[in-house]
């Protein structure tokens, strides 16, 4: 990225200026959440949408951009014997450790991944739309919780995230809506959707989820 005011160049992945008058400066990362529009609209019924600007339409990426990008060769490569360079992952960095989670691991048959990168118990969960993914800490007070999903996206069976011990039901926002834990909420964990080669370039000591 290049800013108009100083002409400095910035890394997209971490917001650090690498050349120009602002070299060494770093932008503050803002929480992001990549959802399908349908799910976002359910959570934010009064939300508004940024409309396209017709005069700039020629500059917008095509709807096939993502699939076309996956076919392009990369300048740098991930270590051999790990994952394909352009494997789409969700990267998590915490407690001095980094781990990549291939999104292909999250399916209707396996919609929850429980793990503990850096000794911190977390959960990746595939949302009720079968496409959106969020990451939560499984630590709630002194307890470490385990979860599983009941129901499948695209079926008549209601989607529900259940905590194993109490069978409390939780929403995709990480808050319990029934049971003994009703009203309690999990802490969200930042996850970065990226290609494996890019994530590994900025996190050279990162491993990846293998189960």
**pLDDT for residue 8 is more than 90:** yes
Range in 67-81, 122-136, 152-166, 192-206 the model is least confident about: 152-166
pLDDT score recorded for residue 151: 80
The rounded distance, in Å, linking the Cα atoms of 179 and 20 is 56
Say if pTM beats, i.e. exceeds, 0.95. Answer: no
For residue 158, the model assigns a pLDDT of 84
Cα separation, 126 vs 129, whole angstroms: 8
User: Does residue 156 lie within any of the structural domains?
Assistant: yes
Report the alpha-carbon distance of residue 161 to residue 134 in Å, rounded. 12
Judge whether 68 lies within some domain: yes
158 assigned to some structural domain: yes
- Give tens-digit pLDDT for 40-93: 999 999 999 998 899 998 899 888 988 898 889 999 998 888 999 999 999 999
Tokens coding 145: 């919780």
**pLDDT, tens only, 159-193:** 889 999 999 999 999 999 999 999 999 999 999 99
CB 177 within 8 A of CB 188: no
Contact in structure between 77 and 197 (CB atoms under 8 Å): yes
Total structural domains within the chain: 1
Q: What is the mean pLDDT of the chain?
A: 92
Q: Would you say residue 66 lies in a domain?
A: yes
Please answer whether residues 122 and 135 qualify as being in contact, where contact means their C-beta atoms are separated by less than 8 angstroms: yes
The boundaries of the domain holding residue 104 are 53-208
Asked if residue 8 belongs to a domain, the reply is no
Taking CB atoms within 8 Å and a gap of at least 24, the contacts of 72-78 are 74/195, 74/197, 76/197, 76/201, 77/197, 78/196, 78/197, 78/200
**Per-residue pLDDT at 22 exceeds 80:** yes
Inside any domain, residue 123 = yes
| Dihedral pair phi/psi, residue 128, rounded to 5° | -65, -15
Q: CB within 8 A of 5, min separation 6: which ones?
A: none
Establish if 29 belongs to a structural domain.
no
3 state SS for 63-98: CCHHHHHCCCCCCCCCCCCCCCCCCEEEEEEECCEE
Residue 154 binned pLDDT confidence (cut-offs 50, 70, 90):
low
201 domain residue, yes or no: yes
The CATH number linked to 62 is: 2.102.10.10
DSSP code at position 118 = G
Predicted pLDDT of residue 193: 93
């Amino acid at each position: 990225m290049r800013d108009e005011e100083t002409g400095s160049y910035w890394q997209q992945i971490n917001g650090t200026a690498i050349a120009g008058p602002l070299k060494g400066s770093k932008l503050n990362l803002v929480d992001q959440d990549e959802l399908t529009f349908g799910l976002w609209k359910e959570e934010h019924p009064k939300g508004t949408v940024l409309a396209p600007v017709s005069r700039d339409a020629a500059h917008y990426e095509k709807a096939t951009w993502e699939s076309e990008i996956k076919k392009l060769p990369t300048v740098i490569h991930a270590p051999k014997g790990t994952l394909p360079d352009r494997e789409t992952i969700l990267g998590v960095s915490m407690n001095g450790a980094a781990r990549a989670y291939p999104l292909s691991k999250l399916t209707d048959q396996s919609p929850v991944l429980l793990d503990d990168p850096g000794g911190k118990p977390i959960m990746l969960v595939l949302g009720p739309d079968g496409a959106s993914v969020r990451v939560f800490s499984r630590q709630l007070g002194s307890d470490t919780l385990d979860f599983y999903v009941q129901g499948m996206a695209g079926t008549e069976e209601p989607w529900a995230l259940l905590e194993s011990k109490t069978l409390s039901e939780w929403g995709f926002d990480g808050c319990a809506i029934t049971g003994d834990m009703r009203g309690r909420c999990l802490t969200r964990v930042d996850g970065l959707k990226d290609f494996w080669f890019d994530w590994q370039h900025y996190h050279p000591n990162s491993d990846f989820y293998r189960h």
